[in-house]
Structure 1
Protein backbone atom coordinates (compact mmCIF):
# COMPACT_ATOMS: atom_id res chain seq x y z
CA UNK A 1 0.00 0.00 0.00
CA UNK A 2 1.42 3.37 -0.99
CA UNK A 3 1.30 6.34 1.34
CA UNK A 4 -0.28 9.61 0.18
CA UNK A 5 2.13 12.42 -0.66
CA UNK A 6 2.54 14.95 2.14
CA UNK A 7 0.35 18.05 1.96
CA UNK A 8 2.20 21.21 0.98
CA UNK A 9 3.34 23.37 3.93
CA UNK A 10 1.83 26.46 2.23
CA UNK A 11 -1.64 25.46 3.44
CA UNK A 12 -3.28 24.57 0.13
CA UNK A 13 -4.82 21.07 0.00
CA UNK A 14 -2.37 19.68 -2.55
CA UNK A 15 0.71 17.46 -2.31
CA UNK A 16 4.01 19.35 -2.06
CA UNK A 17 5.25 18.11 -5.46
CA UNK A 18 2.09 19.31 -7.24
CA UNK A 19 2.00 22.61 -5.33
CA UNK A 20 5.09 24.58 -4.25
CA UNK A 21 7.53 21.77 -5.03
CA UNK A 22 7.19 22.43 -8.77
CA UNK A 23 8.23 26.05 -8.21
CA UNK A 24 11.12 25.04 -5.94
CA UNK A 25 12.41 22.57 -8.55
CA UNK A 26 12.25 25.20 -11.30
CA UNK A 27 9.80 23.24 -13.46
CA UNK A 28 7.26 26.10 -13.20
CA UNK A 29 7.12 29.74 -12.11
CA UNK A 30 4.58 31.05 -9.62
CA UNK A 31 1.79 32.61 -11.72
CA UNK A 32 0.71 35.21 -9.13
CA UNK A 33 2.20 37.20 -6.28
CA UNK A 34 0.15 35.12 -3.82
CA UNK A 35 1.46 31.86 -5.29
CA UNK A 36 5.00 33.21 -4.96
CA UNK A 37 4.31 34.23 -1.34
CA UNK A 38 3.01 30.74 -0.54
CA UNK A 39 6.00 29.11 -2.25
CA UNK A 40 8.45 31.34 -0.37
CA UNK A 41 6.80 30.51 2.96
CA UNK A 42 7.08 26.84 1.98
CA UNK A 43 10.76 27.36 1.09
CA UNK A 44 11.36 28.66 4.61
CA UNK A 45 9.53 25.62 6.00
CA UNK A 46 11.63 23.15 3.97
CA UNK A 47 14.81 25.27 4.24
CA UNK A 48 15.31 25.87 0.49
CA UNK A 49 17.70 28.85 0.55
CA UNK A 50 18.46 28.62 -3.19
CA UNK A 51 14.79 29.14 -4.08
CA UNK A 52 14.44 32.06 -1.67
CA UNK A 53 17.46 33.79 -3.20
CA UNK A 54 16.32 33.02 -6.76
CA UNK A 55 12.90 34.61 -6.09
CA UNK A 56 14.22 37.72 -4.32
CA UNK A 57 14.44 40.99 -6.29
CA UNK A 58 18.07 41.65 -7.30
CA UNK A 59 17.95 45.16 -5.77
CA UNK A 60 17.03 43.87 -2.28
CA UNK A 61 18.39 40.29 -2.28
CA UNK A 62 20.72 39.47 0.63
CA UNK A 63 24.00 37.70 -0.12
CA UNK A 64 22.88 34.56 1.73
CA UNK A 65 20.14 33.12 3.90
CA UNK A 66 20.55 31.38 7.23
CA UNK A 67 17.81 29.48 9.01
CA UNK A 68 17.25 29.61 12.76
CA UNK A 69 17.97 26.06 13.99
CA UNK A 70 15.19 25.96 16.59
CA UNK A 71 12.49 27.52 14.39
CA UNK A 72 9.72 25.47 12.79
CA UNK A 73 7.13 27.11 10.52
CA UNK A 74 3.68 25.77 11.40
CA UNK A 75 1.09 27.61 9.29
CA UNK A 76 0.34 30.37 6.81
CA UNK A 77 -2.74 32.57 6.60
CA UNK A 78 -3.20 34.92 3.63
CA UNK A 79 -5.05 37.99 4.94
CA UNK A 80 -5.30 40.02 1.73
CA UNK A 81 -3.88 40.70 -1.71
CA UNK A 82 -3.82 43.67 -4.07
CA UNK A 83 -3.03 43.28 -7.75
CA UNK A 84 -0.43 40.53 -8.31
CA UNK A 85 -2.30 38.60 -11.02
CA UNK A 86 -1.08 37.54 -14.44
CA UNK A 87 -2.20 40.98 -15.69
CA UNK A 88 -0.16 43.04 -13.20
CA UNK A 89 3.49 43.96 -12.80
CA UNK A 90 3.31 44.58 -9.04
CA UNK A 91 1.32 43.21 -6.15
CA UNK A 92 1.11 42.97 -2.38
CA UNK A 93 0.25 40.08 -0.10
CA UNK A 94 -0.58 40.54 3.57
CA UNK A 95 -0.08 37.39 5.60
CA UNK A 96 0.44 35.89 9.03
CA UNK A 97 2.96 33.06 9.33
CA UNK A 98 2.98 30.96 12.48
CA UNK A 99 6.02 29.24 13.94
CA UNK A 100 7.45 27.68 17.05
CA UNK A 101 10.90 28.55 18.32
CA UNK A 102 12.34 26.63 21.21
CA UNK A 103 8.89 25.16 21.78
CA UNK A 104 7.25 28.60 22.11
CA UNK A 105 4.66 29.72 19.53
CA UNK A 106 4.99 32.96 17.62
CA UNK A 107 3.82 34.67 14.47
CA UNK A 108 5.08 37.02 11.78
CA UNK A 109 2.59 39.49 10.28
CA UNK A 110 3.82 41.22 7.12
CA UNK A 111 2.65 43.10 4.05
CA UNK A 112 5.01 41.95 1.29
CA UNK A 113 5.59 43.71 -2.02
CA UNK A 114 6.23 41.78 -5.21
CA UNK A 115 7.18 42.77 -8.74
CA UNK A 116 8.05 41.09 -11.98
CA UNK A 117 11.61 40.72 -13.24
CA UNK A 118 11.96 39.26 -16.74
CA UNK A 119 8.33 38.14 -16.50
CA UNK A 120 8.71 36.21 -13.23
CA UNK A 121 7.32 37.27 -9.85
CA UNK A 122 9.93 38.13 -7.22
CA UNK A 123 9.79 39.34 -3.62
CA UNK A 124 10.82 43.00 -3.36
CA UNK A 125 10.42 43.84 0.34
CA UNK A 126 7.88 44.00 3.13
CA UNK A 127 6.63 45.87 6.17
CA UNK A 128 6.10 44.13 9.50
CA UNK A 129 2.71 44.73 11.05
CA UNK A 130 2.31 44.63 14.82
Structure 2
Protein backbone atom coordinates (compact mmCIF):
# COMPACT_ATOMS: atom_id res chain seq x y z
CA UNK A 1 0.00 0.00 0.00
CA UNK A 2 1.10 3.55 -0.66
CA UNK A 3 1.50 5.22 2.73
CA UNK A 4 1.85 8.75 1.43
CA UNK A 5 -1.91 9.31 1.50
CA UNK A 6 -5.02 7.57 2.84
CA UNK A 7 -8.59 8.18 1.77
CA UNK A 8 -10.97 9.58 4.35
CA UNK A 9 -13.21 6.54 3.85
CA UNK A 10 -10.33 4.16 4.61
CA UNK A 11 -9.41 5.97 7.83
CA UNK A 12 -13.04 6.32 8.92
CA UNK A 13 -13.71 2.61 8.32
CA UNK A 14 -10.78 1.71 10.54
CA UNK A 15 -11.84 4.09 13.31
CA UNK A 16 -15.40 2.71 13.20
CA UNK A 17 -14.34 -0.95 13.16
CA UNK A 18 -12.00 -1.03 16.15
CA UNK A 19 -12.87 -1.22 19.84
CA UNK A 20 -9.71 -2.21 21.75
CA UNK A 21 -6.48 -0.25 21.32
CA UNK A 22 -3.06 -1.06 22.78
CA UNK A 23 -1.16 2.22 23.09
CA UNK A 24 2.60 1.57 23.05
CA UNK A 25 4.74 4.30 24.56
CA UNK A 26 1.99 5.44 26.90
CA UNK A 27 3.11 8.12 29.33
CA UNK A 28 1.68 8.99 32.75
CA UNK A 29 2.74 12.62 32.17
CA UNK A 30 -0.34 14.68 31.20
CA UNK A 31 1.91 17.00 29.15
CA UNK A 32 2.94 14.14 26.81
CA UNK A 33 1.00 13.65 23.56
CA UNK A 34 0.48 9.93 24.24
CA UNK A 35 -1.35 10.76 27.47
CA UNK A 36 -3.64 13.27 25.76
CA UNK A 37 -4.41 10.94 22.87
CA UNK A 38 -5.15 8.11 25.31
CA UNK A 39 -7.61 10.32 27.17
CA UNK A 40 -9.26 11.42 23.95
CA UNK A 41 -9.67 7.85 22.68
CA UNK A 42 -11.08 6.75 26.04
CA UNK A 43 -13.58 9.63 25.87
CA UNK A 44 -14.74 8.35 22.49
CA UNK A 45 -15.59 4.93 23.90
CA UNK A 46 -12.53 2.95 22.91
CA UNK A 47 -10.94 0.52 25.38
CA UNK A 48 -7.35 1.78 25.53
CA UNK A 49 -4.66 -0.37 27.13
CA UNK A 50 -1.35 1.38 27.89
CA UNK A 51 1.94 -0.40 27.15
CA UNK A 52 5.19 0.90 28.68
CA UNK A 53 7.79 -1.36 30.33
CA UNK A 54 8.92 1.44 32.66
CA UNK A 55 5.37 1.89 33.97
CA UNK A 56 4.24 -1.77 34.04
CA UNK A 57 1.79 -2.56 36.81
CA UNK A 58 1.03 1.10 37.44
CA UNK A 59 -2.02 3.01 36.24
CA UNK A 60 -2.33 5.58 33.46
CA UNK A 61 -5.74 7.25 33.25
CA UNK A 62 -7.19 4.49 35.42
CA UNK A 63 -5.93 1.70 33.16
CA UNK A 64 -3.31 -0.91 34.12
CA UNK A 65 -0.06 -0.57 32.18
CA UNK A 66 1.47 -3.66 30.57
CA UNK A 67 5.11 -4.38 29.77
CA UNK A 68 4.50 -5.65 26.23
CA UNK A 69 1.68 -6.47 23.85
CA UNK A 70 1.84 -10.20 24.66
CA UNK A 71 0.97 -9.45 28.31
CA UNK A 72 -2.41 -7.92 27.45
CA UNK A 73 -5.08 -10.49 28.40
CA UNK A 74 -7.65 -9.53 25.75
CA UNK A 75 -7.60 -9.45 21.93
CA UNK A 76 -6.39 -6.15 20.49
CA UNK A 77 -8.00 -4.53 17.44
CA UNK A 78 -5.38 -1.83 16.95
CA UNK A 79 -1.87 -1.04 18.13
CA UNK A 80 -1.29 2.73 18.37
CA UNK A 81 2.47 3.36 18.24
CA UNK A 82 3.87 6.28 20.23
CA UNK A 83 7.47 5.18 19.74
CA UNK A 84 10.24 6.54 17.51
CA UNK A 85 10.31 5.24 13.93
CA UNK A 86 13.30 2.98 14.62
CA UNK A 87 11.14 0.96 17.04
CA UNK A 88 8.22 0.41 14.67
CA UNK A 89 9.69 -2.80 13.24
CA UNK A 90 9.94 -4.29 16.74
CA UNK A 91 6.35 -3.31 17.52
CA UNK A 92 5.26 -4.96 14.26
CA UNK A 93 7.08 -8.15 15.27
CA UNK A 94 5.37 -8.09 18.68
CA UNK A 95 1.98 -7.53 17.06
CA UNK A 96 2.53 -10.34 14.56
CA UNK A 97 3.14 -12.77 17.43
CA UNK A 98 -0.32 -12.10 18.89
CA UNK A 99 -3.20 -14.52 18.45
CA UNK A 100 -5.50 -13.27 17.11
CA UNK A 101 -3.62 -10.68 15.10
CA UNK A 102 -4.63 -7.04 15.54
CA UNK A 103 -6.53 -5.59 12.58
CA UNK A 104 -4.48 -2.38 12.48
CA UNK A 105 -1.11 -0.92 13.42
CA UNK A 106 -1.37 2.87 13.58
CA UNK A 107 1.94 4.75 13.81
CA UNK A 108 1.69 8.27 15.16
CA UNK A 109 2.78 11.53 13.56
CA UNK A 110 6.40 11.36 12.42
CA UNK A 111 6.57 7.57 12.72
CA UNK A 112 7.16 5.75 9.44
CA UNK A 113 8.96 2.57 8.41
CA UNK A 114 7.84 1.27 5.02
CA UNK A 115 9.62 -2.08 5.42
CA UNK A 116 7.92 -2.71 8.77
CA UNK A 117 4.58 -1.73 7.23
CA UNK A 118 5.07 -4.14 4.32
CA UNK A 119 5.83 -6.97 6.76
CA UNK A 120 2.64 -6.29 8.74
CA UNK A 121 0.53 -5.97 5.59
CA UNK A 122 1.89 -9.28 4.29
CA UNK A 123 0.46 -10.82 7.47
CA UNK A 124 -2.95 -9.22 6.81
CA UNK A 125 -2.63 -6.26 9.19
CA UNK A 126 -3.64 -2.81 7.96
CA UNK A 127 -1.05 -0.10 8.60
CA UNK A 128 -1.47 3.66 8.97
CA UNK A 129 1.65 5.78 9.46
CA UNK A 130 2.36 9.42 10.24
CA UNK A 131 -1.21 10.08 11.37
CA UNK A 132 -2.96 10.52 14.70
CA UNK A 133 -6.33 8.91 15.44
CA UNK A 134 -7.17 11.78 17.80
CA UNK A 135 -6.84 14.17 14.86
CA UNK A 136 -8.58 11.95 12.33
CA UNK A 137 -11.51 10.94 14.58
CA UNK A 138 -13.03 14.42 15.04
CA UNK A 139 -12.38 15.23 11.40
CA UNK A 140 -14.07 12.07 10.07
CA UNK A 141 -16.41 10.67 12.72
CA UNK A 142 -17.46 13.23 15.31
Quick check: TM above 0.5? no
TM-score (normalised: structure 2): 0.28
Hey, which of these two has a bigger chunk of strand by percent? 1
TM-score (normalised: structure 1): 0.30
Hey, which of these two has a bigger chunk of helix by percent? 2
